[in-house]
């Protein structure tokens, strides 16, 4: 019971203090739509919404979750408020799970904005709504854990932002958000396959347009493995670096 109370208190605190801050709104919501507008201006014609729909959804999740968690934890470490949480009578795993849960929810909520806009305004089709929801959830989890991985490595907020962009912007082109992995140069494709976002985007593409590189079950299995690795590796580093 006490663990549940601690979990919800940490989650609610993050919701009040961080979720609707301007950086999260701009990176998670405004930036993906700015990208869609850029595509429209560049082509000067009505683009095929089915081609950009998966990328816009994935970008909303990726940028929203990583911006949220990497900056939040780094800021709390700088203000030494995170150290007080580490002193709480709960396990490190439960504490980190509470911290990442908020970012995961934020990513899922973020994804509904481009989904609703694309379906209602641009008449986009969704081939498999259940698979789309599954893809969004897994992509939110793995993107959040990438943000956690970045926050453990950073000491300052500007470092977290720099590291986040170092990972995120290459993913736009390498993970199939807008450029299919099959269209990449041959020597870049192996790099795409070691990035977890590739498999989340692949699930979303299967759900929206009915085509994917891998079977959805394989994508889910790979994402699960990535999530377990990132979570446990981050916990290991937190205990090694932050808990003396």
Report pLDDT for 136.
93
At which residue do the structure tokens 């408020």 appear?
81
Largest CA distance in the chain: 59
Output the pLDDT for position 138.
95
Tell me the C-alpha distance between 38 and 61, whole Å. 19
pLDDT of residue 22: 61
pTM score above 0.75: yes
d(CA 217, CA 219): 5
Asked if residue 220 lies in contact with residue 130, where contact means CB atoms within 8 angstroms, the answer is: no
- The pLDDT assigned to 212 comes to 86
In this structure, is the dihedral angle defined by the CA atoms of residues 151, 152, 157 and 159, taken in order, positive or negative?
negative
**Residue spans of the chain under pLDDT 70:** 1, 17-48, 71, 79-88, 157-158, 242-244
Supply 100's token pair: 């990442």
């Amino acid at each position: 019971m006490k663990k549940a109370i601690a979990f919800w208190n940490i989650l609610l605190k993050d919701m009040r203090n961080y979720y609707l801050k301007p950086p999260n709104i701009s990176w998670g919501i405004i930036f993906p739509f700015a990208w869609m507008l850029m595509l429209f201006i560049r082509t000067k014609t009505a683009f095929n919404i089915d081609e950009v729909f998966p990328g816009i959804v994935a970008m909303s999740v990726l940028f929203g979750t990583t911006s949220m968690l990497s900056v939040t934890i780094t800021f709390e470490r700088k203000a030494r408020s995170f150290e007080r949480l580490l002193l709480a009578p709960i396990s490190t795993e439960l504490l980190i799970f509470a911290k990442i849960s908020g970012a995961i929810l934020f990513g899922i909520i973020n994804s509904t904005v481009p989904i609703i806009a694309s379906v209602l305004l641009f008449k986009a089709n969704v081939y498999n709504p259940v698979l789309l929801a599954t893809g969004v959830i897994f992509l939110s989890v793995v993107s959040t854990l990438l943000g956690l991985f970045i926050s453990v490595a950073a000491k300052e907020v500007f470092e977290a932002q720099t590291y986040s962009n170092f990972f995120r912007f290459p993913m736009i082109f390498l993970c199939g958000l807008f450029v299919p992995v099959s269209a990449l140069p041959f020597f870049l494709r192996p790099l795409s396959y070691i990035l977890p976002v590739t498999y989340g985007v692949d699930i979303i593409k299967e759900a929206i347009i009915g085509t994917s590189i891998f079977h959805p079950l394989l994508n889910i299995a790979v994402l699960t493995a990535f999530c377990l690795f990132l979570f446990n590796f981050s916990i290991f580093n937190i205990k090694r670096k932050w808990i003396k």
